[in-house]
């Protein structure tokens, strides 16, 4: 790579280089580059030109150490391949625009230990705030968050006790609402299809809420099917085939996410199964993908963009300035896969 190793060429540039090139003190250069304090227009121009000519890139490490300020916000999420989280990121980025803050992403793969490690790593860079998914963390992670003395926002979920602030929806309630809508539509033999992820607490809570509401209506889940890994769309097909074969009299399938729900929908259409007459279907999340399907899957929007936006605003100090819990209300989108009540 022919890189400058050890003794050679130029060390990387510092303020001093710019200072010498422009004939002013390092402090003045620093002021110019940060737009802070008064600097005469003449020297400002001179300094900027020198900096640009040299190709100077400031060293934020030194700057952060000296000023005790870091313009980074740690965002810790379970996965990037879920579509859901990139969308949250978009909300965060948008809201952070023009605040001088910059998001930095960490991924946990739904592992609490990994979350703890990522959090430790990120806190060691002394970010201005932390946004992380879920309310469930290891004891050590929780302790770190409490000690960090910066804004902490736990997102996606509000069923529990946050360390500081929280923005999300109640997944219990979301599950309950969906169950109520399904029961109201007259379905009785209901099956559940979902991920086998012990650490996906939100999916778990939705199922809990769902079953709770069924119980209130005197019903129980007639069957269930779980998967892990692989193409969600394909798994949705396969699981749907499997569960309908095992329990042919099911009249509704509730999927823990839209992707497997879409797979199930494609399967049913392909098999010529009457949807929503013979079997009703519903998913969760409101992913954009659904718009392109031949029929609209019933789902529930998880307010992802909004969650990201609000979380970022809290971290940026654009809201009350106090810890707050923001519960958003997901809207049920009945689509074409639940028959009219």
Partner DNA sequence: GCTTTTGCTGTTAGCGGTAACATAGCCAAG
Partner DNA sequence: CTTGGCTATGTTACCGCTAACAGCAAAAGC
- Shortest distance (Å) from residue 58 CB to DNA: 5
24 vs 179 by CB, closer to DNA: 24
Alpha helices in the chain (DSSP H): 15-22, 26-34, 41-54, 60-67, 84-96, 112-123, 139-147, 171-184, 201-216, 232-246, 258-271, 304-315
- Shortest distance (Å) from residue 274 CB to its own copies: 17
Angle between helices 139-147 and 112-123 (to 10 degrees): 20
Among 62, 196, 215, 325, binds its own copies (CB under 8 A): 62
43 binds DNA (CB under 7 A): yes
DSSP sequence for 169-206: E-HHHHHHHHHHHHHHTT--SEEEEEE--TT-HHHHHH
Among 21, 28, 283, 298, binds DNA (CB under 7 A): 28
289 binds its own copies (CB under 8 A): yes
209 vs 308 by CB, closer to its own copies: 308
Q: How far is CA 279 from CA 219, 265, 329, in A?
A: 17, 10, 27
Q: Rg of the Cα trace of the chain?
A: 26
272 binds, among its own copies, DNA, none (CB under 5 to 8 A by kind): none
120 binds its own copies (CB under 8 A): yes
Name residues contacting its own copies, limited to 66-95 (CB under 8 A).
70, 80-81, 83, 86-87, 89-90, 93
**Per-residue mark of binding to its own copies, 142-181 (x: CB under 8 A):** -xx--xxxxx------------xx----------------
* Vertex 211 angle, CA 209 and 213, to 5°: 70
Tokens 């979920």 -> residue? 157
Which chain residues interact with DNA by CB under 7 A?
Answer: 11-16, 24-28, 30-31, 33-34, 36-40, 42-44, 58-59, 62-63, 65-69
């Amino acid at each position: 790579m022919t890189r400058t190793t050890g003794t050679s060429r130029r060390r990387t540039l510092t303020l001093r280089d710019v200072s010498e090139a422009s004939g002013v003190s390092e402090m003045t250069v620093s002021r110019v580059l940060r737009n802070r304090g008064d600097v005469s227009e003449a020297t400002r121009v001179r300094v900027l030109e020198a900096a640009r000519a040299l190709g100077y890139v400031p060293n934020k490490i030194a700057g952060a150490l000296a000023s005790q300020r870091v313009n980074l916000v740690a965002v810790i999420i379970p996965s990037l391949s879920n579509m859901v989280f990139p969308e949250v990121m978009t909300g965060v980025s948008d809201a952070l625009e023009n605040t001088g803050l910059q998001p930095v992403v960490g991924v946990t793969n739904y592992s609490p230990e990994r979350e703890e490690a990522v959090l430790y790593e990120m806190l060691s860079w002394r970010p201005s705030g932390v946004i992380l998914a879920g309310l469930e963390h290891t004891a050590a992670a929780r302790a770190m968050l409490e000690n960090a003395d910066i804004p902490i926002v736990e997102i996606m979920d509000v069923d529990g006790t946050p360390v500081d602030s929280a923005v999300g929806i109640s997944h219990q309630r979301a599950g309950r609402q969906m169950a109520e809508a399904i029961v109201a539509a007259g379905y009785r033999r209901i099956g559940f299809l979902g991920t086998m992820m012990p650490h996906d607490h939100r999916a778990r809570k939705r199922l809990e809420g769902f079953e709770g509401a069924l119980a209130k209506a005197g019903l129980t889940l007639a069957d269930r099917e779980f998967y892990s890994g692989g193409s969600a769309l394909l798994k949705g097909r396969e699981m749907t085939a499997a569960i309908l074969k095992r329990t042919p009299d099911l009249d509704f399938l509730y999927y823990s996410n839209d992707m497997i729900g879409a797979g199930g929908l494609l399967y049913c259409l392909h098999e010529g199964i009457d949807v929503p007459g013979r079997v009703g279907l519903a998913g969760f999340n409101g992913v954009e993908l659904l718009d392109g399907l031949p029929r609209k899957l019933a789902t529930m929007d998880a307010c992802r963009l909004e969650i990201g936006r609000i979380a970022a605003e809290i971290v940026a100090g654009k809201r009350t300035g106090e810890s707050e819990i923001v519960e958003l209300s997901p809207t049920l989108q009945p689509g074409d896969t639940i028959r009219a009540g």
